[in-house]
Structure 1
């Protein structure tokens, strides 16, 4: 019986810690019901009931499926932004094209020099 009480106590503490982390990491304007400070106090003084109440009534509401157009999510880093990656591809492609054109010009110049040199050697 002691093991059962110990297990329930650990579950209650874990639930309270998770509820506190959720409460403290939520945006202030998204918290429902009470101000953040009151939610923290409720969770601390009534760990089981407060935690359950937080998850049912205080936590920010998640977007329901089919309830209008979802907000576009802002990329967190440049490598998550498809527009940024596309601009990099375009920029790299332009640089590659310029380098290829330079190589073509250099190759053409060298071929012309070799032809002139060969034509000059034949005429002598």
Structure 2
């Protein structure tokens, strides 16, 4: 077991470095080109993969720190509260417009009722047309799609 462990570690290191080398963009590789690095990794068992992992790639610079802002509850966010206030104002205005329109229509109806033209009750269709409608709805042949 003690003799096999270094071989397994070297094999795993070589496979990892080879896959990493093949997947790395050529623009990020420094010193040698990709084909030479692949040859070094495969031909020099432990040193090639270690060199690849240690020195071959340009490392990305440190990431800029994200500004840490604590999460806000909606009732602590002034922008959210402003939007709610605007929404309330819009709804209030819409409701007032509806009420004014309803009052105006009621006044128009009262004026019409005061005149000599009483509103006529809705007329019922005669019985023959009701029978015709019943036949159409029952037969199903009239419904062509």
1:81 counterpart residue number:
none
Computed over aligned residues only, the root mean square deviation of the Cα atoms, in angstroms, reads: 2.1
**Mind listing any 5+ residue stretches in structure 2 that lack a counterpart?**
66-120, 126-145
1:120 counterpart residue number:
123
**Mind listing any 5+ residue stretches in structure 1 that lack a counterpart?**
68-117
How far apart are residue 63 of structure 1 and its match? Answer: 3.5
Pair 1:45 & 2:50 matched: no
Alignment of 1:31-110 (within 5 A): 31-66=29-64
1:17 counterpart residue number:
15
CA contact (8 A) 1:23 1:40 kept: yes
Which consecutive aligned stretches of 4+ in structure 1 deviate over 3 angstroms post-superposition? none
How far apart are residue 10 of structure 1 and its match? Answer: 0.4
2:3 is matched with which residue: 2, 5, 28?
5
TM-score normalised according to structure 1 size: 0.51
Q: Distance in 2 between matches of 1:65 and 1:5?
A: 42
How far apart are residue 46 of structure 1 and its match? Answer: 0.9
Q: Could you say what secondary structure the match of 1:121 adopts?
A: coil
Q: Deviations over 1:94-122 (max 9, x none)?
A: xxxxxxxxxxxxxxxxxxxxxxxx71129
Q: Distance in 1 between matches of 2:51 and 2:3?
A: 22
Which protein has the bigger helix share?
Answer: 1
